[in-house]
Amino acid sequence: MKIRVGFGYDMHRLAEGRDLWMGGIKIDFEKGLQGHSDADVLIHSICDALLGAANLRDIGFHFPDTADEFLGVDSKILLKKSVALLRENGFEVGNIDATICAEAPKMNPHVPAMQKTLSEIMETDVNTISIKATTSEKMGFVGRQEGITAYAVALIYTL
């Protein structure tokens, strides 16, 4: 068995008049994330980690923000396509370890729903997806509630 790891990172600005999507679920909050797609930073960081582990470039290469077909796209579709690319290249998802950094809203209550949604999209066991949530202790753009970031590490393998 060959194993590989990849790292992903994403950030988006919080904006009025947008829905907040995180880990494939809609979270009730007065602001959402600004972006070409639904701006789900958790899914975007996971896509980058998976694609990077397989040496398949990154999310922007496969789903550019200059392409009208991805305008407003549900990031769950991007994750499903990223996993399909992995499998086309002989890889399977081993596990994901991700961290969301947001001052507000609190993400921990939503973690189980995110894990369930992501495991269904990736067709993997829910226990292979770890999601943690933290704040930036009121420092920086995250601390000022100007945006949200997410980090992910993915392990993939071939048999």
Q: What percent of the chain has pLDDT over 90?
A: 93
Sign of dihedral through CA atoms 37, 35, 116, 80?
Answer: positive
Average pLDDT of span 67-94? 95
> Which domains are present in the chain?
2-158 (3.30.1330.50)
Residue among 88, 132, 100 nearest 11 (CA): 100
- The per-residue DSSP string of 18-55 comes to --EEETTEEE--SEEE-SSS---HHHHHHHHHHHHHTT
Task: Please give the pLDDT value at position 69.
Answer: 87
Which pLDDT value is given to residue 14?
98
**Could you give the CA distance from residue 148 to residue 103 in angstroms, rounded to a whole number?**
8
Partners of 151 in the beta sheet? 9, 99
Whether residue 154 contacts residue 95, with contact meaning beta carbons closer than 8 Å, is answered with yes
What's the whole-model pTM score?
A: 0.97
> Is it the case that residue 155 has pLDDT exceeding 90?
yes
Q: Are strands 129-134 and 92-101 parallel, antiparallel or unpaired?
A: parallel
Identity of residue 91: F
